[in-house]
């Protein structure tokens, strides 16, 4: 039975009209977020961005990390995110749109250096 499945796969791949299968992280359907802004208030890192209204975005995947191992990754419904972070580090931020089809679009990235200590 396994040989038949493998043979079927070989025959399918050798045909000229093989449909393109969706990939879990297709990066061509959605635009990247624009105007990514990072601001620091007390020990809170505020992240905001813009997204074209015509883009069919359901959520955003926001990642915040530093080189010491601190990392936060969260899905949000809005174009704003805030997280409490310790000072004295450089934080790297990445925002990716997630479409209605659950494919992830291209990322907007930036970094910010937080002074130590924060007050």
Looking at 2.60.40.10, 3.90.1150.10, 3.40.1380.10, 3.40.50.150, the CATH number of the domain 25-114 comes to: 2.60.40.10
Tens digit of pLDDT for each residue in 71-116? 889 999 999 999 998 888 899 999 999 998 888 999 999 999 887 7
C-alpha separations of 29 from 44, 80, 94, 108, 116 in Å:
32, 22, 18, 15, 40
Q: What is the 8-class DSSP label of residue 19?
A: P
Q: Which is it for the CA torsion 22, 27, 30, 36, positive or negative?
A: positive
Q: Are 47 and 62 in contact (CB under 8 A)?
A: yes
The SS3 of residue 72 is strand
Residues 6+ apart with CB under 8 A from 55: 30, 31, 97, 99, 105
Q: In this predicted model, what pLDDT tens digit does every residue of 36-79 receive, in sequence order? A: 999 988 889 999 999 988 888 999 999 999 877 778 899 999 99
With residue 13 as reference, give the H or E element that holds it. Answer: helix 2-14
User: The whole model's pTM is what?
Assistant: 0.71
């Amino acid at each position: 039975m396994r040989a038949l499945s493998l043979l079927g796969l070989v025959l399918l791949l050798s045909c000229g009209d093989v449909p393109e299968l969706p990939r879990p992280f297709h990066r061509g359907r959605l635009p990247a977020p624009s105007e990514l802004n990072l601001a620091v208030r007390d020990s809170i890192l505020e992240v905001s961005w813009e997204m074209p209204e015509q883009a069919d975005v359901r959520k955003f995947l926001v990642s915040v990390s530093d080189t010491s191992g601190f990392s936060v990754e969260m899905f949000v419904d809005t174009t704003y995110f805030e997280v409490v972070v310790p000072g004295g580090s450089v934080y790297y931020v990445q925002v990716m749109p997630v479409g209605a089809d659950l494919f992830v679009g291209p990322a907007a990235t930036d970094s910010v250096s937080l002074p130590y200590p924060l007050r």
